[in-house]
Amino acid sequence: MNEIIPLVKVAVYPGSFDPITLGHLNIIRRASRIFDRVYVCVMVNSSKRSLFTLEERMDFIRRAACRFPNVEVEHSEKLLVEYAKEKNADVIIRGLRAVSDFESEFQMAMTNSKIEPKIETMFLAAGDAYTYLSSSVVKEMAKYGADLGKFVPWEIIDDIEQKIKNRG
């Protein structure tokens, strides 16, 4: 008798997450409902200067996403599609906040599909409450002592405020 083996759908959600925002967490939550396994991968972006270390960013994501049992947090310095292939991912998740994000994200998706046609890119539009939100906005608000409760997961607010204070 042939045993039916269920397919496991795997996605990778890459980003710099400097720091993770409620918008990122919204995408993670939604992706975790669609896929059996979601790898949130902190990627190295040579064009960005990070405020938080790689270890801090991974810790922030782990603490904020621990409520999703099918989400794993990793990092990679490899080409995204190479990392996705290693994880047997079917899909790369990209969040879109506004139409302005689409052009660069689409270009990246087309490039990735030329390198690895078997891996799809899925765009998830940010929830209404997060269309304006970015890590850069969070860092700017933190500099001025704004209440970060509407921007980032509560688990990491103290860490962000402490980092900004220490950079003083």
State pTM to two decimals: 0.92
Could you give all domains of the chain from N- to C-terminal order, each with its CATH number? 10-161 (3.40.50.620)
- Where residue 100 falls among pLDDT bands split at 50, 70, 90? confident
Long-range contacts, 132-141 (Cβ 8 Å, 24+): 132/97, 133/21, 133/22, 133/23, 133/97, 134/21, 134/23, 134/97, 135/16, 135/17, 135/18, 135/19, 135/20, 135/21, 137/21, 138/19, 138/21, 139/18, 139/19, 139/51, 139/164
Q: Looking at the predicted structure, is the pLDDT value of residue 139 above 80?
A: yes
Q: Which of 37, 57, 76, 135 is catalytic?
A: 135
pLDDT at 33: 97
Catalytic residue at 75?
no
Given the residues 87, 97, 139, 163, the one annotated as active site:
97
Q: Is 63 a catalytic residue?
A: no
In the prediction, which pLDDT does 2 show? Answer: 67
Higher pLDDT, 24 or 131: 24
pLDDT of residue 97: 87
Catalytic one of 48, 118, 143, 165: 48
How confident is the model over 98-112, as a mean pLDDT? 88
pLDDT-based confidence at 6, cuts 50/70/90? low
163 catalytic per annotation: no
Catalytic, 135? Answer yes
